[in-house]
């Protein structure tokens, strides 16, 4: 508290959404997350990049769905009741990231987050930005710009879909 009795916001922490992929814990800043949904259905898109499962319809929009297991080179795994889609926005573009599970929000101290170059030498960390610890868990922070790099992954164009009720032919 400050001298005037008001609680001050702790600005040396940042809010993250934690998710799991192939048994590891990852974190994406909450500011990049639009919403999270249970995995239901993805519509296949012809000639899409192998990392793209297809497109999903969410909140009135058709959004590309990127399978992070494939993107990171992990083996295929069937979708389960825990599979989630994290809808992230980077540079005004929204993409759904399919992950094994996601259910936790956590504030991480900014000073505990270390750039990947300082911690993992000799490992191709092109999709990783930083690493930190949350309790006894190691948490990997992906580089969303690298993960969504349009030169590397061909994302289908995001389109606005309009839902017309009681439309007459």
Scanning the structure block, which residue is given the tokens 């017309």? 164
Pairing of strands 24-29, 137-142: parallel
Mean pLDDT rounded to a whole number for the chain: 82
Whether 77 contacts 69, CB under 8 Å: yes
**What six digits make up the tokens of 65?**
């769905």
Residue 7, pLDDT score? 42
The model's confidence at residue 161, banded by pLDDT at 50, 70 and 90, is very low
Over range 6-18, report the average pLDDT: 74
Fold adopted by 13-160: OB fold (Dihydrolipoamide Acetyltransferase, E2P) (2.40.50)
**What six digits make up the tokens of 113?**
């987050």
What's the CA gap between 103 and 50, in Å, rounded?
Answer: 26
User: pLDDT, tens digit, for every residue of 20-30?
Assistant: 999 999 999 99
**What six digits make up the tokens of 92?**
């005004």
User: pLDDT, tens digit, for every residue of 66-80?
Assistant: 999 999 889 989 999
Cβ neighbors of 24 (< 8 A, separation 6 or more) are 138, 140
For the chain, domain boundaries: 13-160
The model's pTM is 0.80
Residue 167, pLDDT score? 40
User: pLDDT, tens digit, for every residue of 97-154?
Assistant: 999 999 899 999 998 899 887 666 555 567 899 999 988 999 999 999 988 885 554 4
Whether 140 contacts 72, CB under 8 Å: no
What's the CA gap between 153 and 95, in Å, rounded?
Answer: 12
Higher confidence at residue 136 or residue 156? 136
Residue 122, pLDDT score? 54
């Amino acid at each position: 508290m400050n001298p005037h009795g008001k609680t001050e916001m702790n600005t040396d922490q940042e809010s993250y959404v934690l998710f799991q992929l192939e048994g590891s814990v990852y974190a994406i800043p909450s500011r990049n997350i639009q919403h999270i949904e249970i995995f239901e259905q993805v519509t296949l898109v012809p000639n899409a990049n192998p990392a793209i499962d297809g497109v999903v319809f969410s909140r009135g929009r058709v959004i590309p769905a990127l399978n992070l297991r494939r993107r990171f080179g992990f083996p295929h795994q069937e979708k389960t009741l825990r599979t989630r889609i994290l809808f992230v926005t980077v540079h005004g573009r929204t993409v759904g990231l399919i992950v094994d599970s996601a259910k936790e929000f956590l504030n991480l101290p900014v000073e505990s987050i270390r750039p990947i170059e300082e911690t993992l030498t000799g490992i191709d960390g092109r999709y990783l930005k930083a690493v930190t610890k949350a309790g006894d868990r190691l948490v990997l922070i992906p580089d969303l710009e690298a993960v969504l790099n349009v030169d590397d992954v061909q994302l289908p164009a995001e389109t606005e879909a309009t839902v017309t009720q009681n439309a007459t032919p």
